[in-house]
Amino acid sequence: MLVVRPAGPADFDALMELAVLSGPGFTSLPEDEPTLRERLEVSQASFRGELAPLECWYTLMLEDAETGQIDGVAGVKAAVGVKRPFFSFRVVGLTQYSANLGLKFDHKALVLVNECSGWSEVGSLFLKAEKRTGGAGRLLAQSRYMLIGSDPQRFSENVLAELRGWFEEDGSCPFWEHVAAKFFHMPFGEADRMSAASDGQFILDLAPRHPIYVELLPEPARRVIGNVHREGEAARALLEREGFRATGLVDIFDAGPTVACPRDEIRTVRDSRRLVVRLVDALDHATPSLVSVDDIENFRATRAAVTVEDEQVLMTRDVADLLRVKGGDLVRVKA
């Protein structure tokens, strides 16, 4: 069985392997040892309640309970833009009109904004290729919302997700090469690493201050604005199923789209129920459901066959052992 559990310093080797597999453009998983080690330290402190709520960054690992192998990672940031700006480009419409000529022109422009400060972010969703079928990705993605649902007040009323932008088969990023690189004058990989590992001051120093007219950009850059990486389509579908919608914001490096949803309207947060565990030897009529521990410090989640009766959830001992709960404990259930 697969289980989603908190990540800590002992998971470094597994996280580095996933970072290598994720490839370019996955900013939250850089192939940088100090950054990944710090992230795991922050994750452990976040789950233990040792950090201020807005500073928490919860990292989750998808583990095969039988082999102990780590197959995926995901994360939830309690708040973005608190200690460093959270820049995006907003795609805006501009209209120009000449009364003398009787002509009107509609333009699009990219405007640098910092609109999402204080919002929570779900991200870092990545699975090994061989695990991207059979519901593992959905389990990992929904576990983030079960975590939020276990203590909503730790998170913002608005939740966003950034999707990786378009890269060509050869690894090049059209938007970076034709637009962003003109301002940052460094390879994409270096900017990506600095974005994850630094305080982001270089973005504040170098990012464009004035609108960029989309019509003036080369066609390869224009056509990828707001496009999702070929490996990100499944992630976008999962987000849309939860209620996330486009915001009109795109990433300043690769022009990948930002989507968002009010916290309490996220489908899994809204529809999951807090129930009391009741242990049984067997179940006659069970329903496959998402089940998680309703406590952030001891958070674990899995998909298992259970039965809901009134305010109780009936589960077998193997499921309870996987979640490390006992009869009478509170769990959160989403059918």
Which residues share a beta bridge with 62?
Answer: 4, 72
Tokens of 23: 């490839």
In terms of Cβ atoms closer than 10 Å to its own Cβ (0-12, 13-18, 19+), residue 306 is buried
In the residue annotation, 229 being an active-site residue is answered as yes
CA distance linking residue 143 with residue 147, whole number of Å: 6
Strand pairing class (70-77; 57-64): antiparallel
Tokens of 110: 């990219």
Amino acid identity of residue 15, one-letter, is: L
Burial 211-243 (b: 16+ CB within 10 A, else e): bbebeebeeebbebbbbbbebbebbbebbeebb
Indicate which residue of 107, 185, 229, 285 is catalytic.
229
Contacts with 224 (C-beta within 8 Å, 6 or more apart), sequence order: 165, 166, 174, 175, 255
CA distance linking residue 150 with residue 154, whole number of Å: 9
Asked if residue 277 lies in contact with residue 313, where contact means CB atoms within 8 angstroms, the answer is: yes
Tokens of 147: 């975590």
* Residue 116 main-chain phi, psi, to 5 deg: -105, 15
Active site positions, annotated: 229
